Structure 1
């Protein structure tokens, strides 16, 4: 049996094989350890992939440090620019350093926050809500003191598990900015809106439209109503004003009652004209594009069809709108 003293001498003479990486700059590689893999197999595979300099010295180091029994099976992201000691340490924890975090289009701030505890991120819902309501790095088109809600761009993100709430919000806002092309911004200006008000309208359209192809039509209806001094009369704005519906366990109460439509809130577009003061959800790019490139229609009304398709019946007059009601 090779004793501890012999291991120490071997490592002393071969220290460079542990402290120096194979390359100063290395591409990330996926290294998989299967359950039952021996230290010899792991070391040989690392050397064959160009991740360590000497498999024998690496194995001796693991045994000498007592790390050979604590290597975890799993998938690792390693680089040849890591030295042997760093790789040995990395193999002790198979928990990925990054997680996939998904934000669904139309979610409001609180729904995103509620998804955090099961996301793998270390950010708490409370930290996230605070960072959104008081962003450290607001976008240029935010009004003074505005929350970042509405600009938390939906999508699938690969994020560092230990990122802070401020870093998370900044990442989401940066993705929003990346998607705001000059062509898109130009057409937004031609609609007579700034970006902030565009996102407000898009956030309503996102909640109204189940089928994305209808978003330009719904945008057309809202523009027609706004241009003729009519209220938007949008249910999602009332749902947002109501907040959490404890009875049904949802942030979007459905159906609404006649009393709900009278709630005194600046977000209630049945009671107050023009746009609400802030976005009511976080819209996808398609809803923003619908505001920038609305359809041209004569319609002032729409309601859900009675066939369960998720599509809407559009009407030019209130009488036609009543005729579209489910019998």
Structure 2
């Protein structure tokens, strides 16, 4: 009888111990284990990142990192990391967090516009995906890729159509570049290519002129008229005389794209560069910046008029005065020079 009692007590203790053990197991797997107060937190796991680095990143977000680590190892996550951007939600338990980190890579909304050079674009992209700016610029300038897709180093920027794109954060430089080629091909659909052919320009030439148009005016509703001025001059073999190309030529000559130039000086007009449209007729060798889609479409649908000149309008900031004759333009220009001198803009 005594032995039976002992066996019963041992059995009961075993049941209690098993219950306690089961509770801790259940608690470590299914109880909430986040400690951040926001609704969500982003976790970025780099390609080839080590598990210990992921744990260090999670430490400020997880209440009991030891229980997370134990479950992660048990579920095989520690030896099978997935790179990408993952979103943890407040109140998640270890099981939910590990499942998220294993299989729920979330895309990012990648945005770029208004970049002057591939180097600027690479820096902008590197801030939004895993690929660094060095790998991006090397991939963008790859001579074999450019030649195979009818680009030159001078026109390579034209392949990048400014917009918002959905990509995974762990996108490589090569995957990014190839995706942008597909977007370029999608953008230049049959309708747009037909319009470019109608005005006797290639898509890359349209992009190059659109960059000048955009630099000339930030007013979208004025871009078709500005484009019309340049097309009038281009079609008649008259030099474009575009101030933005002179500014670009000066910056390129000085290898200084950080300086802001608001006023073109007479000495700047003498800069010997194929980008200086005051010295050389026709379009520059490539785009001087990345134009918006609105500027590209403004060139494709340029306004048909008889204007050959334009200058900034002091009476309507942001807009321009257009002229059909040089005499009229000089009058408009004198008014602009008086205004810019009054404003004290010397450079």
Fold equivalence (TM over 0.5): yes
Indicate conservation of the 8 Å contact 1:179/1:285, yes or no.
no
Query: Is the alpha carbon distance of 1:305 and 1:36 closer, same or farther for their aligned partners in structure 2, counting shifts above 3 Å?
Result: closer
1:75 to 74, 81, 87: 87
Aligned to 2:45: none
- CA distance in structure 2 between the aligned counterparts of 1:206 and 1:2, rounded to whole angstroms: 75
Gaps of 5+ in 1: 12-32, 38-60, 69-73, 78-83
Q: For structure 2, which runs of at least 5 residues remain unmatched after alignment?
A: 1-15, 27-33, 39-66, 75-85, 339-347
Q: How far does residue 135 in structure 1 lie from its aligned partner after superposition?
A: 6.2
Q: Which moved more, 1:244-253 or 1:304-313?
A: 244-253
Per the TM alignment, residue 105 of structure 1 is displaced from its structure 2 partner at its CA by 3.8
2:294 corresponding residue in structure 1: 286
Which of the residues 201, 208, 229 maps onto 1:193? 201
Partner of 1:307: 315
- Counterpart CA distance in 2 for 1:244 and 1:264 is 11
Does residue 1:240 correspond to 2:241, yes or no? no
2:275 counterpart of 1:263? no
Is 1:100 equivalent to 2:106 in the alignment?
Answer: no
Partner of residue 82, structure 2: none
CA deviation profile, 1:172-221 (whole Å, cap 9, x unmatched):
23222222232221111111112222221122112212101111111111
Q: Distance in 2 between matches of 1:252 and 1:150?
A: 23
- Structure 1 residues 154 and 4: alpha-carbon distance in aligned structure 2, compared to 1, 3 A threshold: farther
Higher helix share: 2
| CA pair 139-220 structure 1, distance change in 2 beyond 3 A | farther
Question: Does residue 160 of structure 2 align to residue 152 of structure 1?
Answer: yes
Q: Deviations over 1:267-294 (max 9, x none)?
A: 1101111111112222222222222211
Residues 244, 250 of structure 1: 8 Å contact kept: no
In 2, are the aligned partners of 1:153 and 1:175 still within 8 Å (CA)? Answer: yes
SS of the residue 2:167 aligns to: strand
Q: 1:197 to 1:92 in 2, by over 3 A?
A: closer
| Counterpart Cα distance in 1 of 2:122 and 2:237 | 36
**Structure 1 residue 86 displacement after superposition:** 8.8
What is the alpha-carbon distance in structure 2 between the residues aligned to residue 2 and residue 289 of structure 1? 74
Q: 2:194 is paired with a residue of what secondary structure?
A: helix
Mapping for residues 149-228 of structure 1, pairs under 5 Å: 149-228=157-236
* Residue-pair matches, total: 272
Per-residue CA deviations over 1:230-269 (Å, capped at 9, x if unaligned) read: 1101111122222379999736532222212211111110
Cα distance between partner residues in 2 of 1:249 and 1:153: 21
Cα shift at 1:137: 4.5
Work out whether residues 243 and 252 of structure 1, in 8 Å CA contact, stay in contact via their aligned partners in 2. no
The answer (yes or no) to whether the contact 1:221–1:299 under 8 Å persists in 2 is: yes
CA RMSD of aligned residues (A): 4.1
Hey, what's the Cα distance between the residues in 2 that align with 1:148 and 1:190?
A: 23
Partner of 2:71: 65
CA distance in 1, matches of 2:284, 2:221: 24
**Offset at 1:113?**
2.8
Q: Which has the larger radius of gyration?
A: 2
Change (3 A) 1:251 1:123: farther
